[in-house]
Structure 1
Amino acid sequence: MPVISDPARFNEEELYVDLRTTIGLPVYLKCEGFNFAGSIKLKAATEMVDAAEREGLLRPGSILIESSSGNLGVALSMIAAHRGHRFLCVTDARCNQPTIRLMEALGSQVHVVREPDPRSGLLGARLKYVRALCASDDRYVWLDQHSNQGNWRAHYRTTAPAIAHHFPRLDVLFVGAGTTGTLMGCARWFWQWRRRVRIVAVDSVGSVSFGGAPGRRLIPGLGTSVPPPLLDPSYVDDVVRVEEKDAVQVCRRLAARGFLFGGSTGTVISGASQWLERHGRRGLTAVAIAPDLGERYLDTVYREGWPPDAVRAEPVPELVHLGR
């Protein structure tokens, strides 16, 4: 029986959903949303805050500041509340209202950026705001999840070895690409330990992470309008780009079977389905990482008619091959 005094020290690491029995997909879904922050971002947040405290960057009077589309902001809000730090989350208009209210309930301040940067979109505008505040006041401590090495090291230490422990004959791993912390941590671990595992990154259509033209994206979490500094494409075997309408359809199919997952998880599962349709399903042991749960998406992903221009159509896979 776990007994804790720090909410960051609990995380369910061993829960998987067999998608064969729910939507007929031969994939084991690693569920990362069962902790007090509600998402996989708790791992990176804990790693980065621990390092900042250890290195003396966080001192009495410091103010944590971070750009986040939502889930990392919640994780940092929880950690800051427990450890007595002040925290300002800089997000944008795509962040779900329940997520904003949750951060505020934990005592954090939230600044919502509504005007995108002409060249780098909403993410670029968020980062510009953070840099300006840090330059104006040395009390601000920016963890910078987009370039902080603790982001990927958290998953190198925890997520990847946990998967390998339960699936020693793993063939393919599907990982969503946002900051690419989870992707890089897992890819590096399997590469270093000589595991013959195919790493498939799942990105959103409209993201520039792996090249291509930027486009509108409404589901927060995956994809980016600025190339992620942590990304090293040499560790990635394939990339699948997913339309948001397809991610929404997957979420609703799972909800119809009693599993309520977030938009990022729907994107990853849709990408896994497309990749397996192209490469064949038989004889492969496949795992996909589910970053979050669905309660924070009730007003978006699970609201009828959202996104407003969605059309019902069969998903068309778009793959980019990257040699290791």
Structure 2
Amino acid sequence: MPVISDPVQFNEEELYVDLRAALGLPLYLKCEGFNFAGSIKLKAATEMVDAAEREGRLRPGAVLVESSSGNLGVALSVIAASRGYRFLCVTDARCNKPTIRLMESLGTQVHVIDEPDTLSGFLGARMAYVNALCASDDRYVWLNQYQNQGNWRAHFRTTAPEIARRFPDLDVLFVGAGTTGTLMGCARWFWQRRRRVRIVAIDTVGSVSFGGVAGRRMVPGLGMSVPPALLDESYVDDLVRVEESDAILACRRLAARGFMFGGSTGTVISGAGQWLAEHAHQALTAVAIAPDLGERYLDTVYREGWPADALEPEPAMARLA
């Protein structure tokens, strides 16, 4: 086992779960939650902070600020605590309460947006708040995960080659689409190396990432209420949209077999299962990326009656969340 002095120095990169035994799926799940931030977002957070330090944007006395539905906020909280930065995370009402408490325990100030923007939903409201904050005080440094090239470069540099080393004959890769940093980094890596790997993006119903009408989404992580700036659809071979009820069912089915993963992972597994069922006549080596683990979802995804008991009548504004 390694001996470390900085939390970003540890990240389990070689763990896969063969889902044939648990779910009957011919799918290997790359588990990205075994680090001190508990999710794949530690990779992008480290890449973006390191770049900001190299460029001189992030200096002693600066205050990090970022919009996040949860996991990136935790990752930046870990890094800020270890490097001595103040950090303000702007999230919204859908963020899991354990995630908020975790960030606060790491010394992060958390601001929760309660009302979505009428046109761009909760994400638009969060970004508007961050923009106004940065305009009011130049001490604030916004990494802006939605446009930061380090977001996808982190996965170009790490995640994709990790998968290629373990599965040199990979046929298809399933990646959840949020900011699309993971998706774009992996897709670009395989495309540039001319490996014929089919890239399948998994999105959630109600997201506008690949077009369509915005709808209410309860599970944080995947999906966007504004088109992702990092997305280049030319790198994506197929798209599967998943109902949140199916994502929750996938999480609970895995938990019944002893594997607890987050809502984003449930979405990816459900989408991968749909795609593989349509291609069952082919013998394929398939991998899906699991962004996080399930402990932060105990009050939501894993609570009986959720999300029905958390829903209020949906006003027109909330449909754009």
Q: TM-score range by the shorter chain?
A: over 0.9
| Rounded Cα–Cα distance in structure 2 between residues aligned with 1:119 and 1:183 | 26
Deviation sequence 1:222-275 (CA, Å, 0-9, x none) = 000010000000000001000000000000000000000000000000000001
Gapped regions of structure 1 (runs ≥ 5): 311-324
2:13 paired with 1:18: no
- Provide the secondary structure at the position in 1 that maps to 2:34: coil
Residue of structure 2 equivalent to 1:227:
227
Matched letter for residue 91 of structure 1: T
Within 5 A, what are the aligned runs for 1:164-175? 164-175=164-175
CA distance 1:153–1:119, change in 2 (3 Å):
same
Within 5 A, what are the aligned runs for 1:1-324? 1-280=1-280, 282-308=282-308
Compute the displacement of 1:309 (Å).
7.5
| Rounded Cα–Cα distance in structure 2 between residues aligned with 1:60 and 1:164 | 39
Compute the displacement of 1:9 (Å).
1.1
CA contact (8 A) 1:26 1:281 kept: no
Give RMSD over aligned pairs: 0.9
Identity score, percent:
82
Matched letter for residue 189 of structure 1: W
CA contact (8 A) 1:18 1:29 kept: yes
Compute the displacement of 1:60 (Å).
1.6
Matched letter for residue 132 of structure 2: A
Residue of structure 2 equivalent to 1:317:
none
Deviation sequence 1:108-134 (CA, Å, 0-9, x none) = 000000100000000000000000000
- How many corresponding residue pairs? 310
Matched letter for residue 60 of structure 2: P
CA contact (8 A) 1:174 1:200 kept: yes
TM-score for the superposition, normalised by structure 1: 0.95
Deviation sequence 1:45-74 (CA, Å, 0-9, x none) = 000000001110011211000000000000
| Rounded Cα–Cα distance in structure 1 between residues aligned with 2:32 and 2:304 | 26
| Rounded Cα–Cα distance in structure 2 between residues aligned with 1:253 and 1:142 | 39
TM-score for the superposition, normalised by structure 2: 0.96
| Rounded Cα–Cα distance in structure 2 between residues aligned with 1:33 and 1:221 | 14
Matched letter for residue 244 of structure 2: E
| Rounded Cα–Cα distance in structure 2 between residues aligned with 1:202 and 1:92 | 23
Matched letter for residue 220 of structure 1: P
Deviation sequence 1:134-176 (CA, Å, 0-9, x none) = 0000000000000000000000000000000000000000000
Compute the displacement of 1:282 (Å).
3.9
| Rounded Cα–Cα distance in structure 2 between residues aligned with 1:221 and 1:232 | 19
